[in-house]
Amino acid sequence: MTSKIAVIGFGNIAKAIITPLFDKKLLNPEDVYCLVNTKKSLENIRKNYNYDINIFQANSKDSEIIWDCQVKLLSVKPQQLKNIIELNKNKQDLLVSILAGVSLENLNKRFPNHKCVRAVTNIPITIGKGLTGITWGEEITEDQKKFIQKLFENSSKIYELPEYLLDIFLALTSSGPAIIALIIEALSDGGLSGGLQKQLSEELVIEMILGTVSLIKDTKLTTAELKNMVTSPGGTTISALRVLENKSLRSALIEAVVSASNRSKEFS
């Protein structure tokens, strides 16, 4: 991989992207230059992070060295973007942004001396099970694309998408885990109301979901085929599905995804 990478903001997602590269010896810690906002964050990383990276506090004179790196991974909160002042002069350098809702157009305006790439990823990346959507900016070379793919492929599955699809990708994959967590919580509460202990009920729900997903994935069943397999005339499943249809669960989930997508568009 490239000799120097700057990481602007070193939260959970940035750590999840970079750490597997250290673990697999694809990247040397001494070649990573990290920028954080506060002294507390800096001290916490120095104390608790497993690798000895170069780390600087924002606005310190020494922090300007990050602009000498050929690749910058931008992972600050969107509202912090206005505090970052580009000092780059090499227009062949890459800037990879994982900021939700910040368009390539806006990135190119703020970082005119970089080739910009936009990536959207989700929280399962922290256990190596992420989903990452990537939109290439202008003039990105094939070698640069391969490098960026290597940056993410050790922690997530990659999808190359036109930018107009990144908002719905974010809604499904980044907001989706919270929706799934809510469904797990609600189903386990259903088990609780039937007399199961909370811990057991939640465990059963999680194992049921994992088994169901594996069945669909391994057998190539469609969701409709699986639903028909377990739904018998006058049985318990059709009774449950009838309640969900009466409560408009299907419509609520669709609208939740659309709402999240629209909110992402508002950010941009």
Residue 5 has pLDDT above 80, yes or no: yes
pLDDT per position as a tens digit, 104-149: 999 999 999 999 999 999 999 999 999 999 999 988 999 999 999 9
Residue 1 predicted with pLDDT over 70: no
Where residue 46 falls among pLDDT bands split at 50, 70, 90?
A: very high
CB count, 10 Å around CB of 233?
5
Q: Model confidence at 86, in pLDDT bands (50, 70, 90)?
A: confident
Q: What whole-number distance in Å separates Cα of residue 103 and Cα of residue 163?
A: 8
Q: What is the pLDDT of residue 106?
A: 92
pLDDT for 83: 84
The per-residue pLDDT for 82 is 84
The pLDDT-based confidence of 217 (bands split at 50, 70, 90) is very high
Least confident of 89-93, 170-174, 246-250, 261-265: 89-93
For residues 232-243, average pLDDT: 96
N- to C-terminal Cα distance for the chain?
31
Query: What average pLDDT score do residues 192-220 get?
Result: 97
Looking at residue 267, what is its pLDDT? 77
Confidence band, pLDDT 50/70/90 cuts, at residue 182: very high
The whole-number pLDDT of residue 180 equals: 97
Q: What pLDDT was estimated at residue 2?
A: 62
Question: Which residue would you say has higher pLDDT here, 85 or 30?
Answer: 30
Residue 226 confidence (pLDDT): 96
Domains of the chain: 5-163 (3.40.50.720), 176-267 (1.10.3730.10)
Predicted confidence at residue 63, as pLDDT, reads 85
Task: Say if pTM beats, i.e. exceeds, 0.75.
Answer: yes
Return the pLDDT at 91: 80
Average pLDDT taken over every residue of the chain: 93
